[in-house]
A and B are shown apart, each in its own frame.
Chain A
Amino acid sequence: MSEPAISPADSGTELSTRLQQAGLDVNACYQCGRCSSGCPVSPHFDLLPMEVIRLCGYGREEVLLESKTIWLCASCETCTTRCPNGIDIAGVMDVLRQRALEKDEKPHENRVAAFHKSFLRSVRRWGRTYELGMIGAYKMRSGDFFGDLKLGLSMFRHGKLRLRPRGIRGKKAVRSMFHKSGKEEQ
């Protein structure tokens, strides 16, 4: 794979508008690298956090939305906390993930996307997370049927997993929040 050629001439404006709307100023970055040296997951990234910020500045959205990085970021907020220029880097990752979903970009890390979706479906349905149902939905959605099977059984034996969901009275109110955002509807 050749390195993406970075040129201000390629700059797309849509992404920068979205970042600005979210109060995120990627142009404040001076590439010191604190975000990237403190990131616990960066050894598994294809783009370092500092590269993500620079590519945002150049509007290279297609490179960013195809990356593993936006899905592997665990949102621990170390980068945001340590950025000397006050850039909410984890917040930039949020915007990029959301853009990828809006554009139906196939997530480079399908299992991570499947997890988020399964988690939110559970919240949408019950108003709270129903862990066993969420795990089942994740298995179906990701195709990861046998991962952590022994662990699941052990958790079950230790009485960690509730068999039945407990919905809240305000389920409707919670469901309407998903309608507003529109994405999780079917």
Chain B
Amino acid sequence: MTRFSYYPGCSLAGSAREYDHSIRETAAALDIELEELPDWNCCGASSAHMTDRRLAIDLSARNLELAEEAGMDVLVPCAACFQRLRKADLVLRQDPGQWSRGEKYDPDFEIIHMTTLLSGSEMLDRMRGLVVRKLSGLKLACYYGCLSLRPPLVTGAVEYEHPDGLDRISRALGAEAVNWSHKTECCGGSLTMARPDIVRGLVGDIVSAARRAGAQALVTDCPMCHSNLESRQAAWKTEDGTDAVMPVFFGTELINLALADRSDEKRWKKHLLDPRPVLARMER
């Protein structure tokens, strides 16, 4: 049993609750124990550091304090939360004067992105041993977005231009991960409400690139990318009546699907773009 402090973040407590559920189901299946960080607060996401750098560090510092009390490595699924926590941790290590508790800031935990944990060889072996329904015939474009990778000095990512954690997970489940061009191109999530016109173009480019590579669906691990890729496609579907949209999965949803063979109707109802037609084409 591997134990972690778990920092879900606001998206997973709100509009991406289904992601939270699917992570907990994945963790239970893989013998990972998650203890939610008690009374965690918002990391401030992009809006805090973009307008007030001090506030951004303070917000994450409180969460780091909670993590230090819990005394375990911190598992973070949301790319923005992950990057903000890592950034604050780095800043506080370099400049402990910003640490409100007065003592030296030198906690003994690591902040780990969920895909890094799940795509490690030990976890992939566990996964392979538990697959009851291979996702054969499913062609996936694994989309990583920005903040779990960039900047590498903060995230610690090694393959930040050509990541393959989600690709390895997809393959372990029996699916095909296509080779494509837009794995780490920004989808414009932080602009999606204010400038949907710009974001539509960014999402359009990503979806077209995935289609060119022969993918039937996108897979991501970032709740904001998921929401943005789904909602901008859903918006142009209602506006233009086009059916040229591509469903978007969370990586852990595919793990759930492969590790427990059941219909999951309730889960897919949470999706703005129905993935069932794509799943129906899988080889049984």
Contact = CB atoms under 8 A, between A and B. Distances in A.
Interface in A76-106: 76-78, 80-81, 88, 90, 93-95, 97-98, 101
Interface stretch (A4-12, A28-36, A46-54, A114-122): A114-122
B14 interface: yes
Nearest to B91: A23
B146 A77 contact: yes
Interface size class on chain B is: 35 or more
B133 interface: no
Given A81-B150, A131-B14, A168-B41, A40 B51 contact: no
A109 interface: yes
In the complex, which of the residues B44, B54, B150, B152 has the most CB atoms of chain A within 10 Å of its own CB atom?
A: B150
A154 B238 contact: yes
A72 B39 CA distance: 33
A123 B59 contact: yes
Nearest to A147: B196
Contact of B50 (A97, A111, A114): A97
A120 B13 contact: no
B217 interface: no
Residue from B11, B44, B50 having most chain A Cβ neighbours under 10 A? B50
B196 A148 contact: yes
B276 interface: no
B235 interface: yes
A168 B160 CA distance: 34
Nearest to A122: B42
Interface in B42-90: 42, 44-55, 58-59, 62
B235 A151 contact: yes
A154 B191 CA distance: 20
Given A98-B52, A129-B42, A170 B231 contact: no
B150 A80 contact: yes
Contacts of A120: 44, 47-48, 51-52, 55
Contacts of A76: 146-147, 150, 186
B14 A148 contact: no
Interface stretch (B20-28, B120-128, B168-176, B267-275): B267-275
Contacts of A111: 193-195
Given A120-B48, A181-B52, A78 B13 contact: no
Interface in B138-191: 146-147, 149-152, 160, 184-186, 188-191
Interface residues of A, number: 62
Contacts of A138: 193-194
Contacts of A75: 46, 49-50, 190
Given A148-B196, A151-B235, A170-B41, A116 B186 contact: no
B234 interface: yes
Nearest to A77: B150
B172 to A, nearest CB: 28
A162 B94 CA distance: 39
Contact of B147 (A77, A144, A166): A77
Contacts of A114: 194
Given A44-B198, A94-B53, A98-B53, 4 more contacts: A41-B198, A114-B194, A158-B272, A181-B58
Closest 6 CB pairs of A and B: A76-B186, A111-B194, A77-B150, A129-B10, A177-B58, A116-B47
23 contacts: A44-B195, A74-B190, A76-B147, A78-B184, A94-B49, A97-B51, A101-B51, A101-B52, A109-B195, A111-B193, A120-B48, A127-B41, A128-B10, A128-B13, A129-B45, A135-B193, A150-B235, A158-B269, A158-B272, A162-B15, A168-B41, A170-B62, A177-B58
